[in-house]
Amino acid sequence: MSHAVRLPVTALLGFGTMGRALATGLLAQGLATPRSLRVGARRPDAAQAHAEALGLVARHPEEAARGAEILVLAVKPRDVDGLLCRLEESDALDHHPLVISIAAGVRTASLAERAPGCAVVRAMPNTPCAIGKGVTVVCAGPGAEARHLELAQRIFGCMGAVLQLDEKHMDTVTGLGGSGPAFIYLVLEAMAEGAVMRGMPRAVALELAARVALGASEMLLATGRHPASLRDDVTTPAGCTIAGLLALEDGRIRSVLARGVETAGRVAGELAS
Ligand SMILES: NC(=O)c1ccc[n+]([C@@H]2O[C@H](COP(=O)([O-])OP(=O)(O)OC[C@H]3O[C@@H](n4cnc5c(N)ncnc54)[C@H](OP(=O)(O)O)[C@@H]3O)[C@@H](O)[C@H]2O)c1
């Protein structure tokens, strides 16, 4: 167990895929303990087995929120409004906790309207956070000061890298960072299929494709070089790579992927309506 400085009492409201990933990361990194981390679930009985596996107790959201200094909203975008209404009506926001929402498409202005007097931070993590290899983008909302952003960075830092951007980019962040793993899985599956077509065993092809993506990504981050320049290193004149690249460009791979991210970002902005 690391000796990380513990977070104040934190309530995770919503204990699905992302809520559980967060709980796992916070406990594993020593940022929270079963005493300082609360779980709020719509159906505590149904959530209890998952909570218990982490040494936690599932409670009703208002019970988990009361007195907690940080609330992390990890429910679906359409459920955010109802959850905050329920908390406000039961006076569970009277102590003005920091509210951090990971709901796609939900603006900080509407969070602040539902949680008056609370500082608000919006964050967008992604599913690789479940194994500590995610990336989260955070942005400040109404009332959020540097210390609130620092708390959010510590929370999501237990699950991978954390970047900070202005809220106007958050729907785009959802399209690239949140949906991005799904796009990469599709690309990996397709690349592996090219090798399967040539007779390579499927399992080896998938591992090879995944390791190639991992290495290429690490190379880009470590060198800071432009992808086009890194690509040139692989592309010998009259060689096999340029032949493959031209086949990909014939299929408009560049605009297809770019439009995928653009479309996901646009739809993300409509999720809460
Ligand atoms: N999955 C991703 O890749 C990803 C990435 C970034 C951000 N997000 C965001 O993270 C949020 C959660 O996504 P998820 O994938 O974790 O969804 P999920 O697996 O469906 O979990 C949502 C959980 O919220 C619970 N819930 C609903 N209303 C509630 C309430 N009033 N009080 C307490 N709990 C309530 C649901 O309980 P029931 O089972 O009883 O309905 C469910 O367990 C979403 O807003 C999404 O936009 C997701």
pLDDT tens digits, 10-55: 999 999 999 999 999 999 999 999 999 999 999 999 999 999 999 9
What is the pLDDT, as a whole number, of residue 272?
A: 74
How far is ligand 1, taken at its centre, from the CA of residue 231, in Å? 39
Query: Does residue 105 surpass a pLDDT of 60?
Result: yes
Average pLDDT over residues 121-129: 95
User: At residue 157, what are phi and psi to the nearest 5 degrees?
Assistant: -65, -15
pLDDT for position 170: 96
Instruction: Work out which ligand 1 atom sits closest to the CA atom of 76.
Output: 45
Task: Report pLDDT for 73.
Answer: 98
pLDDT confidence of residue 208: 98
| DSSP letter for each residue of 45-71 | HHHHHHHHHTT--EE-HHHHHTT-SEE
pLDDT at 57 over 90: yes
Q: Residue 190 above 80 pLDDT?
A: yes
Q: Return the pLDDT at 130.
A: 86
> What pLDDT does 2 receive?
52
* Number of DSSP helices (H) and strands (E) in the chain, helices first: 12, 8
CATH architecture of the domain formed by 10-167? 3-Layer(aba) Sandwich (3.40)
Residue of 76, 81, 100 to mutate, ligand 1, most atoms within 8 A of C-beta: 76
Distance 75 CA to ligand 1 centre (A): 3
- The residues spanned by each domain of the chain are 10-167, 180-268
Q: What is the pLDDT of residue 111?
A: 96
C-alpha distances in Å from residue 259, one per residue of 176, 204, 266:
11, 30, 10
Pocket test for ligand 1, best of 15, 75, 89 (most atoms within 8 A of CB): 75
Q: What is the pLDDT of residue 4?
A: 76
Q: How confident is the model at residue 74 (pLDDT cuts 50, 70, 90)?
A: very high
H or E element in which residue 253 lies: helix 253-268
Average pLDDT over residues 169-198: 97
* Strands ordered across the beta sheet of 58-59: 58-59, 37-40, 10-13, 70-73, 98-101, 120-124, 134-140, 160-164
Would the pLDDT of 273 be above 80? no
Which pLDDT does position 172 carry in this prediction?
97
CATH class name, domain 180-268: mainly alpha
Q: What pLDDT, on the 0 to 100 scale, is given for residue 3?
A: 60
Residues with beta carbon inside 6 Å of ligand 1?
A: 13-19, 40-43, 61, 74-77, 79, 82-83, 102-104, 124-127, 178
Between β-strands 134-140 and 70-73, what pairing exists: parallel, antiparallel or unpaired?
A: unpaired
Mean pLDDT across the stretch 123-142? 94
The answer to whether residue 182 scores a pLDDT higher than 90 is yes
pLDDT at site 271: 84
Mean pLDDT of the chain: 95
Q: How far is the CA of 196 from the centre of ligand 1 (A)?
A: 36
Please determine, for residue 96, whether its predicted confidence score (pLDDT) is greater than 70.
Answer: yes
Average pLDDT of the residues in 228-241: 97
Pocket test for ligand 1, best of 15, 18, 137, 271 (most atoms within 8 A of CB): 18
On whether the CB atoms of residues 44 and 19 are closer than 8 A, the answer is no
Q: Is the pLDDT of residue 1 over 70?
A: no
